[in-house]
Amino acid sequence: MILLEQNGRKIILDYAHEKQSLSAVLKLANTLKTGKSIGVVRLSPEREDKIYHNIGKSIASLADEFIVYDKID
């Protein structure tokens, strides 16, 4: 995990990829935030949709907004 501050914004970089570790990172973010929280999540495209739905349900309330993507072009 890497904690950064850029232009007055706190940024957490982490390779969390399961719902428990994603939840832990987002809970930490909520203790640090002073405004809106935005979660940027990359999930493996090889996973089943059921896994995406379970992860989404578990983290949905932990940030104000999410950007979710499944690959880097």
Is residue 70 over pLDDT 80?
Answer: no
Contact between 11 and 44 under an 8 Å Cβ cutoff? The reply is no
Q: Please give the full DSSP string across 7-62, using - where no structure is assigned.
A: TTEEEEE----SHHHHHHHHHHHHHH-SS--EEEEE--TTS-HHHHHHHHHHHGGG
What sign for the dihedral angle of Cα 67, 46, 61, 16?
negative
What are 6-65's pLDDT values in tens digits?
A: 999 999 999 988 889 999 999 999 999 999 999 998 878 788 888 888 888 989 999 999
Residue 5: partners with Cβ closer than 8 Å, 6 or more residues away = 11
Domain containing 53 equals 2-69
Split into its structural domains, the chain has a count of 1
Give pTM, 2 decimals.
0.79
Tell me which of 71 and 30 has the higher pLDDT: 30
